[in-house]
Amino acid sequence: MKKILLACSAGMSTSLLVTKMDQYVQTIGEEAKIWAVGQDQAKKEMAEANCVLIGPQMSFLKGELQKEADKYGIKVEVIDMMAYGMADGKKAYEQALRLMGE
C-alpha cells in the first residue's frame, strides 16, 4: 500500500486534496493511505510515509523537510500549483507516484 503524506500550514487546505486523491485512487482500484497534517506534525509523521507532498505556501520549508525525510529514504516535493489550486486528485496522486519512482 502506498502511503502519501500531505503537509500544509495547518493541515486544513490539503484535506480537500486528500479527499480528491482518495476518490481517484478508488476509481483506479489501487490502495493508498493518504493523509494531511500541519507543518509542525509533518516531521513526526513522515516516518510512516513513502513520500511527502507539501503545499505551495510551504515551499520555503522544502529543504528543511527533505533533510528530515532523508533519514527515512523518502522524497519531499511541493504540490503542483495547478493541482493544488484545482484540488486535482488525479494529478496530485500521479505526482506522488513519480516521487516514489513508480
- The CA radius of gyration of the chain, in Å to the nearest whole number, is 12
Could you list the active site residues? Answer: 8
13 vs 60: CA distance, rounded Å: 17
Q: Which three cell numbers stand for residue 24?
A: 481517484
- Exposure of 17 by Cβ count < 10 A (0-12 exposed, 13-18 middle, 19+ buried)? buried
